[in-house]
Amino acid sequence: MTPQTLDRAAIARRIPHSGTMCLLDRLESWSAEAIHCTTATHTAPDNPLRTASGLLAPNAIEYAAQAMALHGGVLAVEGSVPSAGFLASARNVRMAVERLDDIAGLLHVRARRLSGDARQVLYEFDLTDSEGRAVAEGRAVVVLNTPLAMEAPQ
């Protein structure tokens, strides 16, 4: 993987999320096929996905989706606008925890592109804690360049 790292501000410039909704703190590495990010936003009291019950595990899918969006952003030609996209489906998702906010330390978010074209991309993803223990995993389809994706709110 490429050793180039990005901080939170640089990540926010490459994905359609900003402020507290930008959930990734750091891009650790990436290649044409995969991306690895880390974050501690799962412990933030102002995390916008947190409910009265805490930050529940299904929100891991949003962390993975942001890593996928960032992957598209770093793969885009310098100066171009990355393809607009939306998460069309998440399949075979398995959660190893009930809540993300109970996880101490960094959360590692990885996504690997399995296949795709100009219209859609299939990724597999996994999240682990700082000790390498499984948090969540699954597959996701991202649909690109559709009128719905291009009109999606930021």
Question: Which pLDDT tens digit goes with each residue over 30-68?
Answer: 999 999 999 999 999 999 999 999 999 999 999 999 999
**Are the CB atoms for 137 and 128 separated by under 8 Å?**
no
Q: How confident is the model at residue 100 (pLDDT cuts 50, 70, 90)?
A: very high
pTM for this predicted structure: 0.90
What is the total count of domains within the chain?
1
Tell me the CATH number at 10. 3.10.129.10
In a domain, 1, yes or no: no
In a domain, 34, yes or no: yes
> Residue 41: which domain range?
6-150
**Are the CB atoms for 110 and 39 separated by under 8 Å?**
no
Tokens 């990355």 found at: 82
In a domain, 17, yes or no: yes
Q: What is the pLDDT of residues 101-119, one digit of tens each?
A: 999 999 999 999 999 888 8
**Are the CB atoms for 145 and 72 separated by under 8 Å?**
no
